[in-house]
Structure 1
Amino acid sequence: MIGTGIGVGIVGLGGMGHLHARSIDELGGDVVAGADLVPEQRDRFASEFGATTYETHEDLVVDDDVDAVIVTTPNRFHEPITVAALEAGCHVLVEKPLAHTLESAERIAATAEQSDGICMVGFHNRHAGSMAMFGEQHARGRFGELTHIEANYVRRRGVPGPGSWFTDPDLAGGGALLDIGVHALDLALYTLDFPEITEVSGVARTTFGTREEYADPDGFGDNWDAEAETYEVDDSVSAFIRTADGQTISLEAAWATNREESMDFRIRGTEAGAQFDIGDTDIELLEAGTAGVEHYADTELTGDPSITGYAQQDEQFLSAIAAGRQPETNTIEEALLVQRVIDAIYRSSESGQAEAIEMPELEMAAETDPTTETERDPEPEAEASTRLE
């Protein structure tokens, strides 16, 4: 099997950590270690996977049995853990987004560039059946030139409860955009093959965070206490992105908004279009013709539902390690562009005007602030969320 002989450690033993651990196990990898501040999480992980567990990531990354590390902690702690793992000679898969701020993401990228280790970022929706089928059709030229993408990740209600790390700007770096909007944004940029971005315009709103009726109905808002907690992150974002080649992206992301829920992803091309729900197995192709009579042609493609984006992503990670080569997808460079667009959306919202994106060299980014998050933040990583991202 692909992962045979590769020892994997998980940092952050909540829901995402267990999801990755099960996937690695099924792919033949060895889940040998886990780290989390919470004793109960460590005990549960050790019981399920027979792994050695640690309180902090510092002990895990120097475990001789650990070849690779998967990071599933709150965003603020991605940098110190990823940097420590790479410097210890481990390969790393860090969950999205790359970091809680652009500056932190740049420091991760600078470390990864100097490291011999493989470093991937967890954007699993790229590997869903819908995107795999789109990619194959696009490679055949079916869509012509891609012109515009409508990317939606919108909930009618679904604000994580105040008191969770999701609504703490120091831990998350932002709200709905960094939590769920990042999936839609990454998928749009991935679809357009990470084009040169010339202009970003966006508005971030904080509207529903203190209203209990908009708490997440699936239980993640059960610690809701609007009067006792401060809510300072966005719960919805609207953005428009222009590229150097004239392609455009419209983005809607929301934890809560008074409209129907949507994970609708629409791709326009000069010859055909496509639409599907983000992360779904199926895709619909939209065309028009005049053969016989003027008509619309809608084609539905149905993929294998047993093949998930998470499993495909983890397989790519293990395959890259086994082959001793850098990954062809989910790269640090791609994740850094996603982070730059996110930063530009927030800057645009603050300035009230469109913002440009600068792309300094990674070495320059590292030199602007050589102090890592590990040095600035003495507190250890927080417990990973049990919410699936």
Structure 2
Amino acid sequence: MEPLRIGIIGCGSIAKHRHIPEYAQNPNVKLVAFSDDVLERAQEFSTLYGGSAYNSFEALLANEQLDAVSVCTPNAFHAPISIAAMKHGLHVLCEKPMSITLEEAEEMIQTAAENNVQLMIGYNQRYFSPHVIAKEIIESGKLGKVLTFRTTFAHGGPEQWSVEKENSWFFSKKKAFIGSLGDLGVHKIDLITWLLDEKIEEVSALIATLQKPGDVDDNAAIVAKTSSGAVGTITTSWTLVPGEDNSTVIHFENGTMKLITDSEYPLIVEYRDSSVEKHTVDAVSTNEVQLNSGVIDAFVEALINNQPVPITGQDGLNSIKVVLAALQSSEERKTIPIVY
């Protein structure tokens, strides 16, 4: 079988540290084109991996014979670029959040269906080893009904990660639309709904800019109610120092599950009878300690086997609904129901 011909649109940090090296390590892939508004970034990767460099996604789509693209641009451009690529008959792996409006997300899903291509959203939290095992334990049923949860994603801010440092597009409402909630919150929304196999049905939120420059949030706190009636919190921050917190604690009828950052035991399960399971699996990936995201391999595997992608546009839309409801709640100071 011929390898998949992949193009990279947007050559910033997420492409540099995740998409490009993980594609390069996959034997079923050939990286053939790179585009970025800053041509030198695209040229850096074309020099390293071969292929062509472009300073616009339009030129890449017009000049290359591709099977799929990764869209790794600022948030505001995810939808229009993904839609254009799918109209060219290409499969798309789009970084999160998939869009900045519900209408854009719905158009992305519709465009994929109309052009018989696949659309996958890059929620890598599902593939972290502690989360995979946690999902298996929850599905076994031995913990019983979920009651409450708290999940957090926090670090010192995108300037520590972005190729643009303090001038990062993450701080621009025009390019990012949302701050820590869109950068980190969508991950934890997707994670908790995937782990529990539930939807979030209503939210109350407070969202603020406490320290960082720009006009997007750097901290957010959401109180959420799920479809089974469980109540929990989802918090995000760009102002945590030092280190990173990517933790989740879930309380069930028969015990408590703890997913902990930077621990010898990233997954601990404490049961009602006082027994404890400590799992020595790979730790949760952080900005400082990069592990294979799993997303790229899953995308490639689905395409080469002609199978549905595991994280769909609908999954992305569901997370966007929660984010937008949280923004509305914070602005209007009231609880917002979410309709699916």
Same fold? TM cut 0.5: yes
User: For 1:263, what is the secondary structure of its paired residue?
Assistant: strand
The structure showing larger relative contact order (alpha-carbon pairs under 8 Å, at least 6 residues apart) is: 1
In structure 2, what is the equivalent of residue 303 of structure 1?
281
Distance in 2 separating the partners of 1:140 and 1:244: 19
Amino acid at match of 1:207: L
Which runs of structure 2 are paired with 1:277-288 in the superposition (5 Å)? 277=260, 282-288=266-272
The CA deviation at 1:257 is 5.8
Q: 1:10 aligns with which of 8, 11, 15?
A: 8
In structure 2, what is the equivalent of residue 313 of structure 1?
295
Distance in 1 separating the partners of 2:333 and 2:203: 11
User: For 2:134, what is the secondary structure of its paired residue?
Assistant: helix
In structure 2, what is the equivalent of residue 203 of structure 1?
206
Distance in 1 separating the partners of 2:217 and 2:85: 31
Distance in 2 separating the partners of 1:258 and 1:55: 36
* Contact 2:268/2:277 (<8 A) preserved: yes
In structure 1, what is the equivalent of residue 308 of structure 2?
326
In structure 1, what is the equivalent of residue 162 of structure 2?
none
The CA deviation at 1:298 is 2.2
**Which digits, 9 at most, give the CA deviation of each residue in 1:216-270, with x for residues without a partner?**
xxxxxxxxxxxxxxx2111111111112321223111111268995322112222
**Which digits, 9 at most, give the CA deviation of each residue in 1:327-350, with x for residues without a partner?**
1x2111111010000000000000
Which runs of structure 2 are paired with 1:79-158 in the superposition (5 Å)? 79-155=79-155, 157-158=156-157
Distance in 1 separating the partners of 2:89 and 2:198: 29
Corresponding pairs, count: 328
Distance in 2 separating the partners of 1:77 and 1:159: 18
Distance in 2 separating the partners of 1:279 and 1:50: 37
Distance in 1 separating the partners of 2:93 and 2:116: 14
- In the alignment, is residue 347 of structure 1 matched against residue 328 of structure 2? yes
In structure 2, what is the equivalent of residue 337 of structure 1?
318
Amino acid at match of 2:302: A
Amino acid at match of 2:218: D
In structure 2, what is the equivalent of residue 218 of structure 1?
none
- In the alignment, is residue 26 of structure 1 matched against residue 36 of structure 2? no
- In the alignment, is residue 267 of structure 1 matched against residue 250 of structure 2? yes
Amino acid at match of 2:123: F
Amino acid at match of 1:26: Q
Distance in 1 separating the partners of 2:219 and 2:177: 14
In structure 2, what is the equivalent of residue 72 of structure 1?
72
The CA deviation at 1:272 is 2.5
The CA deviation at 1:98 is 0.8
In structure 2, what is the equivalent of residue 181 of structure 1?
185
The CA deviation at 1:44 is 0.6
* Contact 2:91/2:117 (<8 A) preserved: yes
Note closer, same or farther for the CA distance 1:346–1:45 as it changes in structure 2 (3 Å cut). Answer: same
Q: Which has the larger radius of gyration?
A: 1
Gaps of 5+ in 1: 211-230, 290-295, 360-389
Distance in 1 separating the partners of 2:194 and 2:78: 22
Distance in 2 separating the partners of 1:152 and 1:311: 19
Amino acid at match of 1:320: A
* Contact 1:194/1:334 (<8 A) preserved: no
Note closer, same or farther for the CA distance 1:154–1:172 as it changes in structure 2 (3 Å cut). Answer: same
Distance in 1 separating the partners of 2:73 and 2:32: 18
Distance in 2 separating the partners of 1:59 and 1:271: 57
Distance in 2 separating the partners of 1:260 and 1:56: 35
User: For 2:245, what is the secondary structure of its paired residue?
Assistant: coil
Distance in 1 separating the partners of 2:101 and 2:6: 27
Note closer, same or farther for the CA distance 1:258–1:355 as it changes in structure 2 (3 Å cut). Answer: farther
Note closer, same or farther for the CA distance 1:350–1:162 as it changes in structure 2 (3 Å cut). Answer: farther
**Which digits, 9 at most, give the CA deviation of each residue in 1:42-64, with x for residues without a partner?**
22111111111222112222445
Note closer, same or farther for the CA distance 1:313–1:152 as it changes in structure 2 (3 Å cut). Answer: same
Amino acid at match of 1:287: Y
**Which digits, 9 at most, give the CA deviation of each residue in 1:314-366, with x for residues without a partner?**
11101111121221x2111111010000000000000000011233xxxxxxx
User: For 2:141, what is the secondary structure of its paired residue?
Assistant: coil
* Contact 1:159/1:235 (<8 A) preserved: no
**Which digits, 9 at most, give the CA deviation of each residue in 1:261-298, with x for residues without a partner?**
53221122222221113698831111131xxxxxx222
The CA deviation at 1:4 is 5.4
**Which digits, 9 at most, give the CA deviation of each residue in 1:140-186, with x for residues without a partner?**
2232222322111123x436466421111111011111112222222
* Contact 1:60/1:66 (<8 A) preserved: no
Note closer, same or farther for the CA distance 1:315–1:120 as it changes in structure 2 (3 Å cut). Answer: same
User: For 1:177, what is the secondary structure of its paired residue?
Assistant: helix
Identity of aligned residues (%): 27
In structure 2, what is the equivalent of residue 377 of structure 1?
none
Distance in 1 separating the partners of 2:209 and 2:267: 33
